[in-house]
């Protein structure tokens, strides 16, 4: 088959709308000009509702999401300090690695892959480690397709007066986030997910408490000095270092499209895609990795025993032209992850599920062709 | 006047060829696929001749040039160590700030703005500071439009067995660089200059000695861990973190264009543009900031006494649609910098100089209209 028209359902990078690609093709301008400042200011303002913040400051960095995660850690925590991190997947584990790299004692709250952390676990960890200054967690753990209850965790961190640092890379712009209400201090995101951009741009939204903390923070930092960036971006309407001009053009256009669709509709669209895919999995007799707390941005379906999930993913990509992602680490070969982020219509889930069915059958699974696709269709029909 | 067609002669960002903009508009693919690996591998190979290296490893980072400078420092030097840095402008000063941020004692070799460092100064500094482990310098100091003699500095560092860390952000791809021959250990560049790309991609080429040094280096680093990046880029044919896919597409296309033109012709083109602009300045009775060692990538012309260079730059940009850059810090208001990098033809210097003449006259300078333009024309004619 191998058609020349490809589909991309990886949970980042995600498809970029043609309007955004064209906007990014605009001739380059210098980043210290009134023209650029106008775009930067507008993009930063347009970002805020996606974080759910009025007070917070959205600070852009020329980096991928991991760079923005590092920025949050090194601006808010310093060597010798302690922090709690939730490790329920590959990205939670990354918080732990970042903490230990920068000399911060990280107390791990271990969560089974696919499960959500329980707020009591956070409470217990904070009781056991009363000197911990922050809790670091994913709003949506991309590796396990599960979400963590940030609102409830925020209740705990507020009560105990510690900072809350959240990786929102597959939650910001995907479903409703309430930074101010939840008491998030640093909210990290990246360009290549719901922001519908190529990778290469990170953002960190910071609360006033986070900015105050950063002021006295002694961790050495230069490129990712968020106070320097904020001063440049808020006061001088440019970036501290050379701006990734094209990506900022693209971001502003992408946010224009998002707000034109309206956030509630964007969120509902992701939800319909996620539910349609889950129902397809169920109809095919398959299990979800995160049945109780599935992420709206990406659905993880476990392949049947005896089937090599890696081969399914490879067949989908190489023979069918449909990009999805497999499992990482302990889930390698067992999981297929289908993303719902980026420039996607709910109808695209027909394609994703159809390719998944065909690849499963090809790999030797017993599949009643069309059962999954029909489940997608049924869910779409209910969303009219 | 304010025409809708704009010109960009800033010494970065520089104009991007339409072919590259279009290549960057290709649909996004995932970065852990054979298709992406092929592009990444080719781009990394195509980069090497621009650094002048066969042995060196070109490692890409999703960041701007400053991020790549930081990467070089934190991978090769550690807290408590000493290094020599050449401060002959804004970017030399940045080496100093990076060193002190990360706890490395930086011994400054101060150079007057517009001058080149003399190799004896490096020799003296190394004698005075025998524990210095590295020399950090700009191949081309963008703020002063001057070049430093890297070959001669390399003789000194080789003789004394210390590392040589070079900022090649406005030299790599601009004029011939000989990393292996000169003994450069870490050679930094950024995407938005001679690589003819938007900002957002950095690269560091590392010698074997640099890689060995990085192995035992204890400076905390995560996002900019170049060994981790190298392992991913060389052994796994992908990037450690999510790749800036579009910029890597663009880089590969840009390098294809550069090698099709051939490097000697690219370098000659920059040289003609630089000489034409210098001769125009001379014909107008103006002085260069760096008469003895002018950079081929950007020409700095001092405005006449009593003329506000900032106004000249602003008039060129806002009224004439011609972007150039003024002076920074001590040169604020005194300097106009005209870049020769990116998607430019020598003929474009007619436009740059014409706009400069008009803006100077507008600001009150005595200008014989056309004298500079004629000098450009004369130099172009000699280059046939």
Residue in A14, A223, A317 closest to B66 by CB: A223
Comparing alpha-carbon positions, the chain B residue that sits nearest to A243 is B199
Q: Supply the pLDDT for residue A202.
A: 98
CATH number at residue A356: 3.90.1150.10
Q: Which residues of B touch A241 (CB under 8 A)?
A: 64-67
Residues A64 and A197 in one domain: yes
Comparing alpha-carbon positions, the chain B residue that sits nearest to A4 is B27
Residue B228 included in any domain: yes
Dihedral pair phi/psi, residue B275, rounded to 5°: -65, -40
Residues A378 and A357 in one domain: yes
Answer whether B242 sits within 8 Å of A64, measured CB to CB.
Answer: yes
Comparing alpha-carbon positions, the chain A residue that sits nearest to B11 is A30
Q: Which residues of B touch A201 (CB under 8 A)?
A: 200
Q: Supply the pLDDT for residue B367.
A: 94
Answer whether B323 sits within 8 Å of A33, measured CB to CB.
Answer: yes
Q: Supply the pLDDT for residue A229.
A: 97
Residue A45 included in any domain: yes
Give contacts of B 52-81 with A, CB under 8 A.
62-67, 70
Q: Which residues of B touch A339 (CB under 8 A)?
A: none
Residues 6+ apart with CB under 8 A from A324: A9, A10, A313, A316, A317, A336, A337, A338, A339, A352, A355, A356
Confidence class of residue A324 from pLDDT cuts 50, 70 and 90? very high
What DSSP designation does B322 have?
Answer: E
Q: Is the pLDDT of residue A196 over 80?
A: yes
Q: Is the pLDDT of residue A74 over 80?
A: yes
Give the number of C-alpha atoms closer than 13 A to the C-alpha of residue A335, restricted to the C-beta side.
Answer: 24
Q: Of the residues B260, B292, B315, which one is the last residue of a structural domain? A: B260
Q: Supply the pLDDT for residue B384.
A: 85
Residue B214 included in any domain: yes
Residue in A65, A101, A323 closest to B30 by CB: A323
Q: Supply the pLDDT for residue B261.
A: 98
Token pair for A326 = 């497999």
Residue in B22, B243, B325 closest to A199 by CB: B243
Q: Supply the pLDDT for residue B3.
A: 82
Q: For residue range B46-56, what is the model confidence (pLDDT) as tens digits? A: 999 999 999 99
Provide the mean pLDDT of chain A.
97
Q: Of the residues A216, A238, A260, which one is the last residue of a structural domain? A: A260
In chain A, % of residues over pLDDT 90: 99
Which stretches does DSSP call E strand in A35-87? 57-61, 82-87
Residue in A67, A241, A323 closest to B223 by CB: A67
Residue B23 included in any domain: no
Q: Which residues of B touch A10 (CB under 8 A)?
A: 30
Q: Of the residues B260, B292, B307, which one is the last residue of a structural domain? A: B260
Residue B19 included in any domain: no
Residue A342 included in any domain: yes
Q: Supply the pLDDT for residue A4.
A: 87
Residues A281 and A358 in one domain: yes
Place of tokens 């004629």: B374
Residue in A16, A30, A244 closest to B8 by CB: A30
Q: Which residues of A touch B221 (CB under 8 A)?
A: 101
| CB contact A28 to B (< 8 Å) | yes
Give contacts of A 126-185 with B, CB under 8 A.
none
Residues B161 and B268 in one domain: no
Residue in B8, B222, B247 closest to A200 by CB: B247
Q: Supply the pLDDT for residue B238.
A: 98
Range A176-186 average pLDDT? 98
Residues A344 and A372 in one domain: yes
CATH number at residue B205: 3.40.640.10
Residue in A6, A30, A200 closest to B323 by CB: A30
Residue in B10, B28, B221 closest to A15 by CB: B28
Q: For residue range A331-354, what is the model confidence (pLDDT) as tens digits? A: 999 999 999 999 999 999 999 999
Residues B246 and B277 in one domain: no
CA dihedral B33, B39, B43, B44 (to 10 degrees): 30
| CB contact A227 to B (< 8 Å) | no
What DSSP designation does B82 have?
Answer: E
**A292 to chain B, minimum CA–CA distance in Å?**
28
Answer whether B8 sits within 8 Å of A22, measured CB to CB.
Answer: no
Q: Is the pLDDT of residue A257 over 90?
A: yes
**A237 to chain B, minimum CA–CA distance in Å?**
17
Residues B154 and B303 in one domain: no
Residues A271 and A183 in one domain: no
Answer whether A101 sits within 8 Å of B222, measured CB to CB.
Answer: yes
* Sign for the pseudo-dihedral over CA of B166, B172, B177, B183: positive
Q: Which residues of B touch A14 (CB under 8 A)?
A: 28
- Considering its fold, how many domains does chain B have in total? 2
Q: Is the pLDDT of residue A249 over 90?
A: yes
Q: Is the distance from CB of B379 to CB of B276 less than 8 angstroms?
A: yes
Residues B146 and B102 in one domain: yes
Residue B20 included in any domain: no
Q: Supply the pLDDT for residue A2.
A: 72
**A44 to chain B, minimum CA–CA distance in Å?**
18
Residues A275 and A199 in one domain: no
Task: Output the tens digit of pLDDT for each of chain B's 384 residues.
Answer: 778 899 999 999 999 999 999 999 999 999 999 999 999 999 999 999 999 999 999 999 999 999 999 999 999 999 999 999 999 999 999 999 999 999 999 999 999 999 999 999 999 999 999 999 999 999 999 999 999 999 999 999 999 999 999 999 999 999 999 999 999 999 999 999 999 999 999 999 999 999 999 999 999 999 999 999 999 999 999 999 999 999 999 999 999 999 999 999 999 999 999 999 999 999 999 999 999 999 999 999 999 999 999 999 999 999 999 999 999 999 999 999 999 999 999 999 999 999 999 999 999 999 999 999 999 999 999 998
This prediction's pTM: 0.97
Answer whether A31 sits within 8 Å of B13, measured CB to CB.
Answer: yes
Q: For residue range A265-293, what is the model confidence (pLDDT) as tens digits? A: 999 999 999 999 999 999 999 999 999 99
Dihedral pair phi/psi, residue B301, rounded to 5°: -110, 130
CA dihedral B322, B323, B328, B334 (to 10 degrees): -10
| Cβ neighbours of B251 (radius 10 Å) | 28
Answer whether A223 sits within 8 Å of B13, measured CB to CB.
Answer: no
Residues B138 and B235 in one domain: yes
Q: Is the pLDDT of residue A1 over 80?
A: no
| CB contact A208 to B (< 8 Å) | no
Residues A255 and A288 in one domain: no
Place of tokens 């980069």: B47
Residue in A8, A242, A246 closest to B64 by CB: A242
Answer whether A30 sits within 8 Å of B16, measured CB to CB.
Answer: no
Helix (H) or strand (E) holding B340: none
Q: Is the distance from CB of B358 to CB of B365 less than 8 angstroms?
A: no
Q: Supply the pLDDT for residue A384.
A: 85
CA B243 to chain centre: 22
Provide the mean pLDDT of chain B.
97
Answer whether A199 sits within 8 Å of B102, measured CB to CB.
Answer: no
Angle between helices B245-261 and B263-283 (to 10 degrees): 80
Which range marks the domain in which residue B339 is found?
A: 7-14+262-382
Q: How many interface pairs between A and B have CB atoms less than 8 angstroms apart?
A: 161
Q: Supply the pLDDT for residue B44.
A: 98
Q: Is the distance from CB of A200 to CB of A251 less than 8 angstroms?
A: no
Residue A205 to residue A178: CA distance in whole angstroms? 12
Q: Supply the pLDDT for residue B169.
A: 98
Dihedral pair phi/psi, residue B277, rounded to 5°: -70, -40
Helices (H), chain B: 18-24, 34-51, 65-76, 90-101, 119-128, 150-160, 179-182, 208-216, 226-230, 245-261, 263-283, 309-318, 348-362, 371-382
Mutate which of A67, A196, A198 to disrupt the B interface (most B C-beta within 10 Å)? A198
**A134 to chain B, minimum CA–CA distance in Å?**
20
Q: Supply the pLDDT for residue B207.
A: 97
Answer whether A64 sits within 8 Å of B190, measured CB to CB.
Answer: no
Residue B52 included in any domain: yes
Q: Going by DSSP bridges, is the β-strand pair B322-323/B82-87 parallel, antiparallel, or unpaired?
A: unpaired
**B15 to chain A, minimum CA–CA distance in Å?**
6
């Amino acid at each position: 088959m191998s058609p020349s028209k490809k589909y991309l359902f990886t949970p980042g990078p995600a498809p970029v709308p043609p309007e955004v690609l064209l906007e990014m093709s605009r001739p380059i301008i210098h980043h210290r000009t009134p023209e650029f400042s106008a775009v930067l200011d507008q993009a930063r303002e347009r970002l805020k509702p996606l974080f759910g913040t009025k007070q917070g400051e959205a600070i852009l960095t020329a980096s991928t999401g991991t760079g923005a995660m590092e920025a949050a850690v090194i601006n808010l925590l310093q060597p010798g300090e302690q922090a709690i991190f939730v490790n329920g997947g590959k990205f939670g584990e990354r918080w732990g690695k970042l903490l230990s790299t920068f000399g911060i004692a990280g107390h791990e709250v271990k969560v089974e892959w696919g499960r959500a952390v329980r707020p009591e676990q956070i409470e217990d960890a904070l009781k056991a480690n009363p000197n911990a200054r922050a809790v670091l967690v994913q709003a949506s753990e991309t590796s396990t397709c599960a979400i963590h209850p940030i609102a409830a965790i925020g209740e705990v961190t507020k009560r105990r007066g510690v900072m809350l640092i959240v990786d929102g890379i597959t939650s910001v712009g995907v479903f409703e986030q309430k930074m101010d209400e939840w008491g998030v201090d640093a909210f990290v995101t990246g360009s290549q997910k719901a922001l519908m951009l190529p990778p290469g741009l990170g953002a960190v939204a910071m609360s006033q408490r986070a900015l105050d903390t950063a002021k006295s923070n002694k961790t050495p930092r230069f490129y990712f000095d968020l106070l320097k960036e904020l001063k440049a971006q808020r006061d001088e309407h440019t970036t501290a270092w050379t701006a990734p001009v094209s990506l900022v053009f693209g971001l502003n256009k992408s946010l224009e499209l998002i707000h034109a669709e309206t956030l509630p509709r964007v969120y509902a669209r992701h939800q319909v895609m996620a539910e349609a895919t889950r129902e397809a999995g169920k109809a095919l007799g398959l299990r979800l990795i995160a049945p109780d707390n599935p992420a709206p941005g990406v659905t993880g379906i476990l392949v049947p025993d005896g089937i090599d999930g890696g081969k399914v993913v490879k067949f989908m990509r190489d023979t069918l032209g449909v990009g999805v992602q497999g499992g990482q680490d302990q889930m390698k070969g067992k999981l297929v992850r289908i993303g719902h982020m980026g420039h996607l219509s709910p109808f695209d889930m027909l394609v994703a599920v159809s390719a998944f069915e065909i690849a499963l059958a090809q790999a030797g699974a017993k599949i009643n062709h069309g059962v999954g696709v029909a489940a997608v269709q049924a869910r779409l029909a209910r969303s009219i």
